[in-house]
A and B are shown apart, each in its own frame.
Chain A
Amino acid sequence: MANVLLEMKNITKTFPGVKALDNVNFQVEEGEIHALVGENGAGKSTLMNVLSGIYPFGTYEGDIVYNGEVCHFNVIKDSESKGIVIIHQELALIPYMSIAENMFLGNERGSKYKIDWNETNELAAKYLKMVGLKENPQTLIKDIGVGKQQLVEIAKALAKNAKLLILDEPTASLNEEDTKALLDLLLKFKSEGMTSILISHKLNEVSYVADKVTVLRDGSTIETLDKNKDDLSENRIIKGMVGREIEDRFPKRESNIGDIKMEVKNWTVYHPLYTEKKVVDDVSINVRKGEIVGISGLMGAGRTELAMSLFGKSYGTNISGELILDGKPVHLHNAQQAIKHKLAYVTEDRKGNGLILSNPIKINTTIANLEGVSNRGVIDKDREYGVAVEYKEKLNTKCPTVEQNVGNLSGGNQQKVLLAKWMFADPDVLILDEPTRGIDVGAKYEIYCIMNQLVAEGKSVIMISSEMPEILGMCDRIYVMNEGKIVAELDGKDATQEKIMSHIVRTA
């Protein structure tokens, strides 16, 4: 049996109100490729952040044993000095610096007072050769493709004398050819004795390279599968990932579904910066009156982009396709027009795109429908106050007064203010993007009740969620989205987590 290189023992990490990791045990042997899999929010990234020192020693419980000694990492440098290097999902390269400069950023060659550029470039060339990248070290990062950038990240890790390489979704933005090359590179490193941890959603890749697979679910380790003993097929792994019972966490509702309210045909959206990249690809969906339609998929599947592009082209370029409301085609060019056509988009990023944190609840409640509380451009502040109080009571928002700044509220209450804002805009179709992200179970239940109430009033709801149980528990119909495409449409009654997950990973 090979040496145990890393052992994480009984790791528990709590965020305010949420237990992100609950007594996790994770063991990696020297020279293996160990895959870490789980749904969004299962705790993979949190676990790796604990390991690399992003969450410093003392903010979690449990022990990290590396190379036989208990380690206390306070900053990333501490873990890197031991050879633990993490490569994050979002590339952390600076576009207007050269490959060599990026590779040694924060790890500069030469003396404290003078960078030795010759050594820098020479070493960079050496590491580039190790990862099989034929580029001049002085080429700027912006001039090479994403696949090559990923290789630069790996070379950068090697330059830090990595002994344990952690890759977080390294192939998320790569095409098939680059993906294959990268996986083969990992296998080559393995043959040279390198240990790697691979975090991936793409289970075919996991099956291809991994020696062992550890499954995380809801912040706990479920099982570790060994290539030599267990079946590492996709179906076997999926079962581990989703195998939880759906408890009675969803309020009951009588479906009363009417005519088609909104229809989208052949909707295609390109990325606003990388204009040749399709983010939403020929999507056709519809939602009826009184219906909750779910859009399931992994992060980055293009769901938010779809929703925002529908909402008055608030995302993307070169948008094509048809949007039909009540049987009539409409063209919405900005959020104003979308609101006028009784659409609402309740963002997933309530702090970034949704609320004005420095303003009180009442101002946030009315901002999308100021006409509703004003006469000819003059705000009736008493009416505004009344509206805010009305919605506070309706949604049971917990706050001392509606004069309270939204920034001081808990996530669940912020979400309610965001919902109040859009309910006051009086839409017919509400697109709720991850409406329960980061809020506790009680508040979730209340949000589900509000959704049921909305459809009972004859409104249509599109719910985007990465949490499969809530999609299954709430939706009449479910679209599965992956890589910009709708890959399946399921009836809410006979959909299961396994079905959804297999549609996602099959197409990945």
Chain B
Amino acid sequence: MRKDRRGFLAGLMAASLTPSLSWADAGNPSFLAAAREPDGTYALFGLSECGQDIFRIALPARGHAAAAHPRFPEAVAFARRPGTYALVIDCTNGRLIQKLDAPNGRHFYGHGVFLNDDTLCCTENDIESGEGRISLWSRRENYRRIGDFPSGGIGPHDLKLLPDGETLVVANGGIRTHPDHGRDKLNLDTMRPNLSYLKTDGSQIDRKELEPALHQCSIRHLDVREDGLVAFAMQWQGIEGEAVPLLGLHALGNPAVFPEFPIADQNRLSGYVGSVSFAGNGSSVAITSPRGGVLLTHGLTHGTKIWNRSDICGVAPSGEGFVSTDGLGGIFSVVDGKPRKLALANRAWDNHLVAI
């Protein structure tokens, strides 16, 4: 009873305190990125279009991805997999708005997305069954957990919202993990990753599985273009050195297509893509491989271009092209496959760069 009342009051406070603020009050950052500082601590940064620091908020541990609220200056920073918490942060002052705790028997997988102004969706693991779940959290109720439903597969990682504003696309990576075994992959022989399209009532619109020969291509990261085209990036779990697709494109109702790259470029990806993004103008898609130290852009008009950059991983749309971040602190603009240095920070940028 008491708990409910407290929750209600907290909800009222959250609702009454923040709605008037916008991202302008947080300095109008264009991107969010987590980083490791030279002293070994971690922080979340707001970055300008030119890669300059707008704000810095200390994090208690290494983050993975962040979700930016579409309107209000609030960011949700997810702990590194298999984390049991996510932090909702007020980006105007760095204060913690709420800590999201995964319920007993669950952990987060590191990605989340706002469905609308009120609802945050996160990927989760139901530890005992191994079933992937999507949890829902209500901002209006101070980020109370309001429900969950199946993700349509095992090991959901990234998820994105389609332009219709109500359909989620989920990368079910297919890999079963259990926190007792850290990040050990428990089902590589039988894994079946898929791309699931879900409504928030839990109904499934479509599910795309890869052909059996590619069942060890773990679908992990996603981007969605304005017209609903989904780019999905994969990580190969099979025999090393095989040239398997690591980028797929899919539009609902159509077959998936897998762009082919010159074999030398394919090899440079090392079977592993860490992030994927459409260009700001939608004309190309970029994938990064921190293991191969490359950013590859695949254009509808200008073919494949590859750029060598050690430990590169984060990539997000910007202008005509992309902005990319790396573990050496670099922030680069990439247009037509050509990189230009924007900034070099004395910190290691983490896996993902999130456009606001």
Q: Do A and B bind each other?
A: no
Question: CB within 8 Å of B: which residues of A?
Answer: none
Question: CB within 8 Å of A: which residues of B?
Answer: none
